[in-house]
Amino acid sequence: MILSIKQLSVRSRERTLIHDVSLSVQKGEWFALVGQSGSGKSLLSQAIGQMLPPNLQADGQILFQRQDLLKLPSSQARSIRGRRLSYTFQDYQGSFTPFRTLGQHFDEYQKAHGEASTGVRKKQTIEALQSVGLEEHLLSRYPFQLSGGQLQRASIAIALLLSPDLLIADEVTTALDSVSGHRILQLLADKQRQTGCAILFITHDWRHVRRYAQRIAVMKEGEIVESGSRHHILDQPQHDYTRQLIQAAPVLPVPKNTLSAGLMEVEQ
């Protein structure tokens, strides 16, 4: 077990936004947290990394490799976040400072997590870029000089740079077209096989869940209404809400050559 959430609630002064949520993620698995916008999925992901807004309070347990993240001081939580627990977000462009080059982003990320050797940092950066189909010369460019697809790949490269044990991928395909979204997820799947990391995949898109997830939890209005294996949830849903979501989801075929030939293509 790499992540175990037990009876987690998130509250503001006015109301409870997440109600006694419990779920677990196994080492090396792809776990999908599914629900419509506003169901509390992203709020849950923020609670895991101690990134909730100051007006919200989390109660319960979030055990990451047997450490309760809710009880850790913020400095210790920051040291875990990025090295052992990493994120990639829907707003990948917001992850980059416009007046720093791509290379400076990689370098500062490694320095923040204790990598002192300039040579090691440069080697890790180049290997990370190449692993997502980007070329070394892009390190001298600023974020506005890269395409959206290149920035998304770069954000994944940074998130996986220090070989985290768990990657939280929060709506990473929402801002992308269908083909680009499939390419990014295939890239994540390839990286998962190479590194053995677990992925907590937060999404509302059942097409991607059907293709990649091993286990699924369905969230509605801050509560987990159903969870189980992919086969159980997709083929034998028990909750009316789950059935409604699955029935409303489009099923679109993805050409095989889209994933194989297009995966390592660098967007211009």
* Domain contains 152: no
- How many domains does the structure of the chain reveal? 1
Domain of residue 36, CATH code: 3.40.50.300
User: One-letter amino acid identity for 38?
Assistant: G
Q: What is the pLDDT of residue 251?
A: 63
The pLDDT score that the predictor gives to residue 55 is: 95
**pTM for the predicted model, two decimal places:** 0.88
**What is the domain range of residue 241?**
3-97+165-260
Residue 48: inside a domain, yes or no?
yes
Specify if 130 maps to a domain. Answer: no
Residue 61 within a domain = yes
d(CA 22, CA 41): 13
Q: Residue 43 falls within a domain, yes or no? A: yes
Task: State the Cα angle at 181 between 180 and 183, rounded to 5°.
Answer: 65
> What's the half-sphere exposure (Cβ side, CA atoms, 13 Å) at 150?
17
What pLDDT, in 10s, does the model give residues 15-43? 999 999 999 999 999 999 999 989 999 99
Rounded to a whole number of angstroms, the CA Rg of the chain reads 19
Which of the residues in the chain have pLDDT under 70?
A: 175, 251-268
pLDDT at site 263? 38
Sign, CA dihedral 242-60-10-68, equals negative
Within-domain flag for 103: no
User: Has residue 49 been placed in a domain?
Assistant: yes
d(CA 252, CA 14): 41
Q: What is the CB-side half-sphere exposure of residue 44 using CA atoms within 13 A?
A: 40
| Residue 32 contacts residue 209 (beta carbons within 8 Å) | yes
